[in-house]
Chain A
């Protein structure tokens, strides 16, 4: 069913440079992005996110592999013939043109009629709430306003796919939160497929319909935010998306024996031998020492964060662990350094990862 797919990449491989100097920026990426989806590419700096976007935009051609747009192979189509637009990280607003002329640029290039151009520009200006700035030059706008002009300019020709390369990274925290909501609203209102690049996991989790986690030119996992957060496929994904405690152990039937010698319950199906367990800090509960089915731990340190408290713990074999507590634990536990406590993992919170 290719009709629901906006973008598909088939073993997209990109190398920069030649011979022994070649850098493999993308290593055979296969991904399908649905129409109308808010899709996020997430990964550390240098993992190939920008390269993948540039291949989709047509600024680069893949060394091998294919790019399909709505089922059509566009691998070698130049950018000016692709119904795909980009919001550049540096905005790339034309300094010699006014805001309105920037937004009108693509429409004029496409030879749209004068009235059509006027109407669309007007519509775009109100979409990004910049009606009163039409005749300003980009350099007379604040960072957030420039950002919105860049968005309006890219949306004006109603592309099939909008590409956004870390569009919010130049903004301060408060403005960034505001623009995150704004972007989400624009995507819902226009129904255009957004491919959004970020290295900020929180941004990815709050905005996306689906996330692809990338590392060294490869996609490790694709899924909805909740799925990726709760069921990371490997240690890298688990670590990159939010904080995680890692514990090592061995599968013993339907339980796992930790290196500390204690047993914990987990979904062990399909796993055997040595494994790594991943547990989110907020899934770790603290109870009085000796409570049944709890692990024994010693409090190393507690750090108060306002809304919650981070409790650093150490198991019998000195394995370190963090618990994030929303409220003080019940019972008379003082959370002071050196105190012995019991810890419990919430049911279903323990993820088993193969070594």
Chain B
């Protein structure tokens, strides 16, 4: 790619900007590409290339800890995404397309709170609270992780749903009422089908967010409840092997797939409206 040439005068072209931009894009991908590349390394080092091989993937999966952490991560992410998306749909219905009120601002602040409070603070707060509950009830299960993940996933599920609702023509629901739909039927047959792409998008963002979480999981998990990220963080202490690259590659792949789906879903929404 040639970056700067003696092109015709263009007011929007600023000298050096293209060079910086291309460098930034390259630097953004270089570490990730190398990480993925070395996942296919035949040798044991994530820095010295010894030929192509796929053997790190089955090897990682053969590791009982990796397998358990993967399943646990998926269970948590699925549950948290379902819970956060469900409550986010309801909250979005309750807070959009109405006159502004102080109560609504409060709800909006509450929902976005996880985006503003540093994760480490929430993590230690949950460590204390769940510590009490664990002692009081004796329950040590995945419930704590699922609940904590559900909470910080809510804003990610909420935002696309809210955006879609606000962009939706309210006349359509009025039209449904005019055509003899009860309020529930209007929601079921008009609002919900049109909201579905955004619900799916919100679900995916919540899923990715849960799958990526390290800090809160680290503080909330009981003994032997490693998720994939906390397991990987533990490995940094030991001598790093290509196993981590293999797991990372799979996570990156999953993210790219979900994001592509997200983009296709949200792009679809611009079509029906004019």
- Convert A139-153 into 0s and 1s, putting 1 for each residue whose CB lies closer than 8 angstroms to a CB of B: 100000000000001
Check B177 against A80 for contact (C-beta < 8 Å).
yes
A85 pairs with B272, CB closer than 8 A:
no
A79 to B172, Cβ gap below 8 A? no
Interface of B is mostly: helix
CB <8 Å contact, B272 and A79: no
Measured CB to CB, the nearest residue on chain B to A138 is B272
Q: With an 8 A cutoff between CB atoms, is B181 at the interface?
A: yes
Q: Mark A76-92, 1 if CB is under 8 A from B, else 0.
A: 00111100111010101
1-57 of chain B: CB within 8 A of chain A: none
Known contacts A86-B175, A88-B175, A96-B193; A109/B169 CB under 8 A: no
On chain B, which size bracket covers the interface? 20 to 34
Mask of A97-115 contacts with B, CB within 8 angstroms, 1/0: 0000000011011100000
Q: Closest residue of chain A to B197, judged by CB?
A: A96
- Docked pose: A88 CA to B194 CA in angstroms: 19
Q: Which residue of B lies closest to A83 (CB)?
A: B180
Q: Give the shortest distance, in Å, between A180 (CB) and chain B (any CB).
A: 23
Asked if B104 is an interface residue, CB under 8 A from chain A, the answer is no
Closest A residue to B172 by beta carbon equals A92
B200 shortest CB reach to chain A, Å: 14
Is A94 in contact with chain B by the CB < 8 A criterion?
A: yes
Cβ of B223 < 8 Å from any Cβ of A? no
Chain B min CB distance to A60 (Å): 10
The smallest beta-carbon distance between B181 and chain A, in angstroms, is 5
Question: Is B93 engaged at the interface, CB distance under 8 Å to the other chain?
Answer: no
Q: How far is the CA of A348 from the CA of B180 in the complex (A)?
A: 51
Residues of B within 8 Å of A108, CB to CB, are 189
* B271: Cβ under 8 A from any A Cβ: yes
Contact pick for A157, options B180, B189, B272, CB 8 Å? B180
- For B182, what are the chain A residues with a Cβ–Cβ distance below 8 Å? 80, 109
Least CB distance from A227 to B in Å reads: 32
Using Cβ atoms and an 8 Å threshold, which residues of chain A touch B183? 80
Closest to B182 in A: A80
Is A59 located at the chain interface by the 8 A CB criterion? yes
Within 8 A of A (CB), among B149-194: 169, 171-172, 174-183, 185-186, 189-190, 193-194
| Residue with the greatest number of chain B CB neighbours at <10 A, chosen from A86, A90, A92, A153 | A92
B239 close to chain A: CB less than 8 A? no
Distance (whole angstroms) from the CB of A283 to the closest CB of chain B: 44
Contact B180–A96 (Cβ < 8 Å): no
Given contacts A110-B180, A139-B272, whether A94 and B174 have CB atoms under 8 Å apart is no
Which 4 pairs show the lowest CB-CB distances between chains A and B?
Answer: A95-B272, A106-B179, A92-B175, A92-B171
B residues with CB within 8 A of A: 169, 171-172, 174-183, 185-186, 189-190, 193-194, 271-273
Binding site for B on A (CB under 8 A): 57-59, 78-81, 84-86, 88, 90, 92, 94-96, 105-106, 108-110, 138-139, 153-154, 157
